[in-house]
Structure 1
Amino acid sequence: MALLPNPIVLQRADPFVLRTDDGYLFTGSYPVYDRITLRRSKTLSDLQQAEEHTIWKKHESGTGAMSELIWAPEIHRVNGQWVIYFAAAHTTAIDPVADTFQHRVFCLTCDDADPITGTWTERGQVDTGMDTFALDATTFVHTDGQQYLIWAQQDLNIEGHSNLYIARMENPWTLATKPAMLSKPELDWEKIRFIVEEGPAVLKHGDKIFVTFSASGTGPEYAMGMLTANADADLLDPASWTKSTEPVFTSDETVRQFGPGHNSFTTTEDGQDVLIYHCRNYVEILGDPLFDPNRHARMGLITWNEDGTPNFGTPQMDTRWTPATTDVLPADGHLDIDETL
């Protein structure tokens, strides 16, 4: 099988791709965590060269909510409205009680036709009913027309930094039901360096709904797990979901791909299912891993097992130039990656 053109976007962790009638919209964590950007391309392979547009910037530091560490934005189309979820904090300090950063989930909406040129409205914090570390919200509209939100949040009574929760929505920024905990980190591979489940992503296929998530620390131990439910089940009932006992996507030292995770899903131009994820191609991180910019956005084709479950394979080697450990992208975010390795 021919190798895919990877990476698809340099130095953008937590990648999210939405396929629309006008092409692919891409967003992800900006390396200095101060803004939300969008870029659009007709093809997945051209996203790196696409112009990047800043559609929202953090509030001035020290002014309260949404003023620090803007993480993991996702753009969705919900009942005709553009919706962006993201995590933000009011400080860069670690909460001494929770031993985490102090993020909460926030929402932006846009009613204009083009989300890049349109006006975005701040809808504020999504109140989950729990005033603890929360991040990585994703959403889907089910066959019954109801919107659901899935996100990661800490419960101080449960060991670890975040569990996965689900709720049905009244509107994109308001929960209609109490959160139900779908999963918590309890398996050995979910508890390496950090005890965490985060970065949920939804994939529908046949009569099943799959929710992938990422676990453990953000180094080479980072890996993807998966929850599975029948599409006609009560999705708010934790008993409807089954968790994989082993990770479904992991590092591959043979091709120098380490810590794959925080993924999203889309399809190719000809309709093949695609896994979008970030990964580093080295383990020797200089300084704080949070500010190492070289978790690049990548893609891989999904195949389907006979039992209807997805097969994500393994990360493939890079086929495009990537920065060295000390390289930082220029301000416009455009490096020429046409050169193959």
Structure 2
Amino acid sequence: MLPVPVRFAVVVSSLASLLGCTKEAIPTLQPAVPTPAATTFTNPLLSSGPDPWVAQKDGFYYFVATNDRNLTIRKTAKMSELGTAYSTVVWTPAASGGNVRHLWAPELYWLDGKWYLYYTAGSSTGGCCASQRLWVLENPSPDPTTGTWTEKGQLLSAGHDYSAIDATVLELGSQRYLLWCGVESTTNSEGRLYISALRNPWTLTGPRTEISRPTYDWERKGPPTNEGPEVLQHNGRTFVTYSASHCMTDDYALGLLTLTGSDPLDAASWTKSARPVFTQNPTGKAFGPGHNGFFKSKDGTQDWLLYHANSLAGQGCGDLRSPRIQPITWRADGTPDFGVPAAVGQPLPRPAGE
């Protein structure tokens, strides 16, 4: 056995050696390097989302689309990140009634301090699409993914209880109007665009006025149709895009109406463009682009187009239609230029402010 002084020296030496090894084993900590935020995105934003539409409020986007079964809202701070957005079912129809089947083309609006959700639905006893009508829900919550949605009933034009789809709201000064796709009578199924004044968000008042019907060859591919009206306002001018030809065809495309008169209830106040303004891009896998919406970029400096398209030819009107976005530019004459549908997978700059 070693003498005490020697044993003490060995312990101290071993301890010092151990501490020295431990100190050398501690890695030097480097400051974390943040991952650069992505500056681009690609279309489509979701694998499915026919008839897409989006509302903006308090820094958030609220996205809705056709899914037939219920009304679902996706909430996101960045439209380019819609694929990871919070999603919630806000309304499920009853088992029977006039608004329980074929839920199509929902649109959200914040009006008079409440949310209103317009949608198309049909009867539990009627076939598609003769029983399709316009309906509206109301919710006082500032966030439409919370609170309670209550039914306000059917939006009905006096004396014209005919098939009606695709409601959208136009605001001009202090007056609001509803635009939609309807039929002339129960014996004519051709889709036409109509407008009527709104007394409040759930009540139409006065006569309906037809402002467009499919007259050009490019509007008459498949069953002749004008549908999906959407309002775009810029520098004091009002435009309405609409989807022409039938969604079963790859020729489904956007047309354009311009309010050139002073009274939107006067058909003569609307001027139709003779050519489509947004058509298919087969090489970019964008077939049948249409039924769109519009939104502002995060910083408010850009106008963006939201629309659906199929990625392959012949996919028709089903759930394979996917939502896509791209920026709008403005021509020197003040009219919108929607360009060509961006190719699937093509990197695009994110909306400004994202």
> Under TM normalisation by the shorter chain, which class is it?
0.7 to 0.9
Q: How many residues align?
A: 306
Partner of 2:115: 82
**Structure 1 segment 111-126 matched on structure 2, within 5 A:** 111-126=140-155
Partner of 2:162: 132
Deviation of 1:206 after TM superposition, in Å, equals 1.4
Asked whether 1:222 is paired with 2:252, we answer: yes
Q: Which amino acid aligns with 2:106?
A: P
Q: Which has the larger radius of gyration?
A: 2
Q: Which amino acid aligns with 1:37?
A: T
Asked whether 1:14 is paired with 2:51, we answer: yes
1:159–1:195 CA contact under 8 A, matched in 2: no
Unaligned runs of 5+ in 1: 321-341
Which digits, 9 at most, give the CA deviation of each residue in 1:271-323, with x for residues without a partner? 200000000110143xxx44x32100001110001110000001011128xxx
Alpha-carbon distance in 2 for matches of 1:113, 1:317: 36
Alpha-carbon distance in 2 for matches of 1:104, 1:159: 16
Partner of 1:331: none
**Structure 1 segment 293-308 matched on structure 2, within 5 A:** 293-308=319-334
**Distance of aligned partners of 1:4 and 1:313 in 2 relative to their CA distance in 1, 3 Å threshold:** farther
Runs (4+) off by over 6 Å: none
**Structure 1 segment 1-341 matched on structure 2, within 5 A:** 4-30=41-67, 33-60=68-95, 63-91=96-124, 94=127, 100-129=129-158, 130-143=160-173, 145-156=174-185, 160-218=189-247, 219-230=249-260, 233-270=262-299, 271-285=301-315, 289-290=316-317, 292-319=318-345
State the identity as a percent: 37
Deviation of 1:210 after TM superposition, in Å, equals 0.2
Unaligned runs of 5+ in 2: 1-38, 347-354
How does the TM-score come out when normalised to structure 1?
0.85
Which digits, 9 at most, give the CA deviation of each residue in 1:241-268, with x for residues without a partner? 1001110000011212100000011011
Give me the CA root mean square deviation: 1.9
Q: Which amino acid aligns with 2:107?
A: E
Which digits, 9 at most, give the CA deviation of each residue in 1:145-202, with x for residues without a partner? 2111111101138855211111111111111221111111111111111111100000
How does the TM-score come out when normalised to structure 2?
0.82
Alpha-carbon distance in 2 for matches of 1:164, 1:58: 27
Partner of 1:330: none
Which digits, 9 at most, give the CA deviation of each residue in 1:79-100, with x for residues without a partner? 22211110000147547xxxx4
Deviation of 1:4 after TM superposition, in Å, equals 4.6
Q: Which amino acid aligns with 1:267?
A: K
1:78–1:141 CA contact under 8 A, matched in 2: no
2:328–2:337 CA contact under 8 A, matched in 1: yes
Which digits, 9 at most, give the CA deviation of each residue in 1:126-149, with x for residues without a partner? 011212110000003222x21111
Alpha-carbon distance in 1 for matches of 2:148, 2:298: 28
Deviation of 1:5 after TM superposition, in Å, equals 2.4
Alpha-carbon distance in 1 for matches of 2:170, 2:112: 10
Alpha-carbon distance in 2 for matches of 1:92, 1:245: 40
Partner of 1:329: none
